[in-house]
Amino acid sequence: MKAVLRLAVVCMSATPLAHGLAIAGLILVLLTLITQRIFPWWTLGVAAQPRLALGFQLVLALLSSIASLLLFCSATGMPALIHRLAMGHQVGVMPHGRLKLLTSAGLVVGGLSLLSATLAYLSFVDFPLELPPIFWSSLYLSLFAFTLSYMVIWLMGLYRTTMTTFVGVLLVILCLLVPMRLSLRGAMETQILLIPTLLMWGMIGGLIFAAPRFATIAKRPAFIADGAGSPGAGSKPIDLLLGTANPWRYALAQIPPLFLAGMLVVDTPGMLVLFVLLATLTGAAASLAAGRSRRLWLRSGASRAELYRMVESAHVRQGVWSLLVLILMFALVGGLAKFSPAKFGTGIVLLVVAMATGNWLGLFCTQGLGWREGGCAIIAMGLLMLGAYLCVAAPPHYLAAFSLDLAFLGLIAGFRYLAMKRWREIDWMRC
Amino acid sequence: MSVIETSNLTKRFGKTLAVDDVSLKVERGHVYGILGPNGSGKTTTIGMIVGIIRPTSGTFRLFDGDTPQDLHEARRRIGGTLEQPNFYPFLTGRENLKIVAGIKGLGKREIETALAVVNMSDRAHKEFKTFSLGMKQRLALAAAMLGDPELLILDEPTNSLDPEGMVEIRELILKLAGLGKTIVLASHLLVEVERICSHVAIIKNGRLLKHGTVAEITRGDSSYSVHAGDLNSLQTAIENYPGTQHTHRHTDRIIVELKDNDPAALNRYLAQRGIYLSELSEQERSLEDAFMEVAFTGESNSRQGS
Ligand SMILES: Nc1ncnc2c1ncn2[C@@H]1O[C@H](COP(=O)(O)OP(=O)(O)OP(=O)(O)O)[C@@H](O)[C@H]1O
Ligand SMILES: [Mg+2]
């Protein structure tokens, strides 16, 4: 699963440009959503100026399609990447490598379609209570459109001539416009598009699994960027290899899910749970450190214990950034919900605790997620949820929350102890 | 002075016995090939030596030291490529080396030296993603060479290169050996080991089947090629000869392996039966023959897991 997700992320951020596009797209998604949520009356047409409302709605629709387009563009490198990976030998080494490759491609397309459908739907409807037909029809349409476009892009990459480019673009436009117009006029059920979509995926799957037979076409195996972030000026080499060189990127990446969730989760207890979840997950990014730190061995000349300290401090530094952003967002939400200072304080402490727990739990996972790590994670998560509950319950139990925080200090110290112990005898071939 | 000396090195991954009781010795100036088919435990063996994994049992010495402190110090004298060249595609070769050098605490001068050694000085300003696989591999070698280590450990350095690229890398490795480096290299390619290594350890299913100089391993010690006018009666006679270990019929001659390595006795025996040999010569073996032989006899008595 981890490999699939990582592949999917690489697909969407293979180059700095793609990375930028993805981020721009996400920001735009955010922007649309904010506007939706904060000024819903503008878009509903109940304002004094119906014409203005209509115009605004159009702008929003436009913005959301640009957002989808940007995200779509960020993954234009995907067909070539998947192609090279399928042809390369690394995929053979990975267990179920081809299946993972297919799944990650599906994940990218599925995710993009889902996002577009949500955006399309939200630009028509203010409040998501149930998923109306427009959501489904734009989902089917997006699935079809994205799949088709990526296939065409793949083909154009294979045969790079002006003619193929021209024909390809024309094909995509036709295949997009015709179903869209037909479905808008109600002349066609968009569900039908599922059939060609599934057929295309069958074909893609077939190609991925049969790739070794076409190996002669393969030019050379791909080098995969691990998505660890591009080296910026002044970043430390160690951070570059650990992927902690651009903490702000991770920090900002927390914002879109928060906003997305802000649309769906209306009550504040729910929001706090979400914040805690995010804090924990961001901390848990440290679980990648074990695998990545292998590249530091032999090079850094550090012992395992020294390496642990380096990795730990790199991740703590990154965590602090993410935490700052989270706290800022929390303040925003809390301000809107008129939290009392006590609630603010308790919530912020809980976020710090959650991040630290995730961080050291992540460092403790040197060999993936076994039942031991999973058990620890579940227990820690349960306790964190309890903390969130104590904070937002109606009357809040601040004292209990405070004692829980203290208990967490012990838990974190325990995780840290275990992590250090494991890192002292880490086996990188098993990470 | 020995650079690496392992004794009874063993590594178990759960139920898999990846490396089983391997004892070998690499001395200064050796180009030591670890030869074995896929999954035989080459990477695991090397991994234990460089320290990215810990042995289940057994010990080893690096540069004649075996305390944890010695091993730690020794690793500063080792350079290695233990994975596919893994660099940032959108940075130039030189920038990529800068990152590695930064971790090793080295500067510009060392980077240029390493680039010069692998003949990449004039191409290091290009982005890594534009490199051919051979150049990527050379950059990996340059990264390993940063800081001028005495021992280079290379895992399948020519893997997935085209024949031309392979030759390039092999020449480079020979050049490094010429600079006085001790080199350990894992490979599943016989020709590679035969061409560039001075010593070889053949391993299969985690077990060390045979080791020694390449010359020793390839020397045919008891196989002879014989020929006579009537091949059929020759074959029957040889098969009846008590000193025969094994025969193999080719179209124009018979290869015979003798138990006591005494070709004169065989000749006498045949002459007594009226068969006069027109040819009796010691069989030259390639490393491939040696490998196949060792690998096949080794298979029957190797242990896999438990
Ligand atoms: N992390 C691991 N977990 C479990 N088993 C492993 C692990 N790494 C290697 N093995 C097993 O150990 C054995 C030896 O593997 P190793 O990678 O050392 O072989 P190799 O000779 O390097 O092969 P190749 O030529 O394919 O690189 C194999 O059976 C392999 O399946
Ligand atoms: Mg290997």
pLDDT, tens digit (0-9, with 9 covering 90-100), for A184-200: 666 667 777 888 889 88
Q: Where are the beta strands (DSSP E) in A167-319?
A: none
Q: What percent of chain A has pLDDT over 90?
A: 17
Contact between chains at A298 and B129 (C-beta distance less than 8 A): no
Q: Where are the beta strands (DSSP E) in chain B?
A: 2-13, 16-22, 25-27, 31-35, 57-62, 78-81, 151-155, 182-187, 199-204, 207-213, 223-228, 244-249, 254-258, 277-282
Strand B16-22 relative to strand B2-13: parallel, antiparallel, unpaired? antiparallel
Question: Is B276 near chain A, with CB under 8 Å?
Answer: no
Decide which of A143 and A165 is more confident: A143
Q: Are B52 and A429 in contact (CB under 8 A)?
A: yes
Looking at residue A15, its pLDDT comes to 77
Angle at A324 between CA A319 and CA A326, to 5 degrees: 90
Q: For chain A, which residues make up each domain, given as ranges?
A: 2-222, 230-430
Buried b (16+ CB within 10 A) or exposed e, A262-284: beeeeebeebbbbbbbbbbbbbb
Q: What percent of chain A has pLDDT over 70?
A: 76
Looking at residue A207, its pLDDT comes to 85
Looking at residue A199, its pLDDT comes to 86
Chain B residues within an 8 Å CB radius of A299? 100, 103-104
Q: Mean pLDDT per 10-residue run, chain B (306 residues)?
A: 94 94 95 94 93 93 92 90 76 89 89 93 91 91 92 91 90 93 93 91 93 80 82 90 85 84 88 89 72 60 38
Q: Whose CA is nearest to atom 28 of ligand 1?
A: B39
Average pLDDT of span A268-280: 79
pLDDT of A62 above 80: no
- Domain limits, CATH 3.40.50.300, in chain B: 2-218
Pocket of ligand 1 (CB under 6 A): A 429-430; B 13, 16, 18, 36, 38-44, 188
- Closest Cβ opposite residue A298 in set B75, B95, B132: B75
- Closest Cβ opposite residue A428 in set B53, B89, B98: B53
Locate the chain A residue with the closest alpha carbon to B47: A429
Looking at residue A226, its pLDDT comes to 33
| Spatial distance between the Cα atoms of A150 and A79, rounded to a whole number of angstroms | 6
| Spatial distance between the Cα atoms of B231 and A240, rounded to a whole number of angstroms | 70
Question: How many angstroms separate the alpha carbon of residue B204 from the centre of ligand 2?
Answer: 12
Looking at residue A225, its pLDDT comes to 31
Contact between chains at A295 and B54 (C-beta distance less than 8 A): no
Give residues with Cβ within 8 angstroms of A330, minimum separation 6.
A275, A347, A348, A351
The CA distances from residue A254 to A66, A102, A328, in Å, are: 21, 27, 11
Give residues with Cβ within 8 angstroms of B90, minimum separation 6.
A15, A16, A225, A230, B127, B128, B129
Looking at residue A181, its pLDDT comes to 64
Looking at residue A268, its pLDDT comes to 61
Reading the block at residue B137, the tokens are 């591999």
- Domain limits, CATH 3.30.70.980, in chain B: 222-284
What superfamily in CATH does domain B2-218 come from? P-loop containing nucleotide triphosphate hydrolases (3.40.50.300)
The CA distances from residue A190 to A178, A185, B181, in Å, are: 11, 11, 67
Looking at residue A100, its pLDDT comes to 87
| Spatial distance between the Cα atoms of A74 and A26, rounded to a whole number of angstroms | 11
Looking at residue B141, its pLDDT comes to 93
Q: Where are the beta strands (DSSP E) in A299-366?
A: none
The overall average pLDDT reported for chain A is 78
Q: Whose CA is nearest to atom 16 of ligand 1?
A: B41
- CATH code for the domain defined by B222-284: 3.30.70.980
Chain A residues within an 8 Å CB radius of B43? 429
Q: Residue A35's pLDDT band (boundaries 50, 70, 90)?
A: confident
- Closest Cβ opposite residue A237 in set B76, B89, B103: B103
